[in-house]
Amino acid sequence: MPFSCEAGTHCCSVTSGKECMMGTFGLLCPGEVVLCPRLFSMSSRRCLQAQFTRERNWNQFHQPRNLLLALVGEVGEVSELFQWQGEVAEGLPGWSAPQREALSHELSDVLIYLLELAEKCRVDLPQAVLAKMELNAKKYPASRVQGSAKKYTEYTCEKGASSAEPDA
Ligand SMILES: [Mg+2]
């Protein structure tokens, strides 16, 4: 099933079922993307969302504040799934298939609104994530913070520690 994006976006057509030259599914060329759960990028996800929204004439509702509130609501729906569960181990042992499916749905909703909010705020999220990771690495040098959960501000008080930018 082909998808198309608005002119000006870097992803103009999405087609499923095509195999690229590397023998896997992914980006074929700057204007052609195939659907692949493993290699599906943030940009191609955003491309599909933009079409979904446009086809329903929902852009009129998607101002930044509305999207932020929707995002917070979806985070609440994720929280509801963990509510009263006690401590939950990695991998969610003991969770049923319906519970896992519900979690995948709600986490997807969070990502969908996050990507749309970033776009409406003109934040290049893939680039911003890389920049923030770089900043975090400076705030929390591996040699200094091994096995510690202290906030970076606590390290700045230690001898020889450099000052760090305030966290967002
Ligand atoms: Mg939801």
State pLDDT tens for residues 36-51: 554 457 777 777 888 8
What's the gap in Å between 21 CA and the centre of ligand 1? 37
**Ligand 1 center to 54 CA (angstroms):** 20
Domain boundaries, given as residue ranges, for the chain: 1-61, 63-84+95-123, 136-168
pTM: 0.69
CA of 113 to the centre of ligand 1 (A): 10
The Cβ of residue 115 has, within 10 Å, a number of other Cβ atoms equal to: 21
Q: Which residue has the tokens 């969908």?
A: 112
pLDDT of 81-93, one tens digit each? 999 999 999 999 9
The residue that leads in pLDDT, 39 or 115, is 115
Domain 63-84+95-123 has CATH 1.10.275.10: no
**pLDDT band at residue 147 using 50, 70 and 90 as cut-offs:** confident
Please give the radius of gyration of the chain, using alpha carbons only, rounded to the nearest integer: 20
164 CA distance to ligand 1 middle (Å): 37
Distance 74 CA to ligand 1 centre (A): 5
Long-range CB contacts (< 8 A, 24+ apart) of 161-168? 164/138, 164/139, 165/135, 165/139, 167/139
For residue 98, report the distance from its CA to the centre of ligand 1, in Å: 14
Cβ-based neighbour number of residue 45 at 10 Å: 15
In the reported structure, the alpha carbon of residue 111 is separated from the centroid of ligand 1 by a whole-number distance in angstroms of: 11
Q: Which pLDDT score is estimated for 9?
A: 37
Q: How many CB atoms lie within 10 A of CB 145?
A: 14
> Does 63 score more than 50 pLDDT?
yes
The CA 33 to ligand 1 mean position distance, Å, reads: 27
Query: How far is ligand 1, taken at its centre, from the CA of residue 149, in Å?
Result: 31
| Nearest-10 crossing angle of helices 97-120, 125-139 | 100
